[in-house]
Amino acid sequence: MPDLSTSRLPTETEVGTWRSFLRAHAQVTRHLEVEMRAGEKLSLASCVVILELAGARDHRIRMTKLAEAALLSRSGVTRVIDRLERAGLVARQRHDGDRRGVTVELTEEGISRVDDVKGSHLALVMRHFVAVLEPDELAEFGAMCERLADTRARANHGDEFRSEACSHGFPTDTPTRGN
């Protein structure tokens, strides 16, 4: 593993790789955002929140845990929940025993949308991400991204988004293309 404390500047190749990573992320998420809004009439973040709630016990989770699982800031998840609450898809409740804590749960209307949201989300991930890469490339890319995330998490002393908390409603045993 490279020394992270180095004082040298990145090479053109290294900067190019960084920019390619940023561009790929922006392009893929932009496509998912546009197509989720067109198909489900929900933002990508709203879909991710719905899927996280769908996977939670009793379709309920604390706001702080939801923000972490959905890879959103606390203020970001609050804005998403505001929109979903106005749409009748979620409800907020004060957490029993902790007046400061707030839980969010899917309403019956929200539960009725889960299968469509999940199907659309998975289809878009397949089209714009999985189908573009070969199975061995997916495995290698996933390992590299985990290493990047884990390295940054250690540098931040645990103040990170933990991947095991971020299922986004995906089954953990979903076969990859070619399997």
7-25: per-residue pLDDT in tens? 899 999 999 999 999 999 9
Sequence-separated (6 or more) residues with CB below 8 Å from residue 18: 10
**Mean pLDDT, residues 110-128:** 97
Closest among 99, 1, 121, 140 to 51, alpha carbons compared: 121
Of 1.10.10.10, 3.40.50.2300, 3.30.56.10, 1.20.1440.20, which CATH number belongs to 22-165? 1.10.10.10
Cα 88 to Cα 74: distance, rounded to the nearest angstrom: 21
CA–CA separation, 9 and 100 (whole Å): 45
- For 35-88, write each residue's pLDDT tens digit: 999 999 999 999 999 999 999 999 999 999 999 999 999 999 999 999 999 999
Rg for the chain, CA atoms, rounded: 18
Domain ranges of the chain: 22-165
- Which residue, chain included where needed, has tokens 């998975």? 122
pTM, full prediction: 0.80
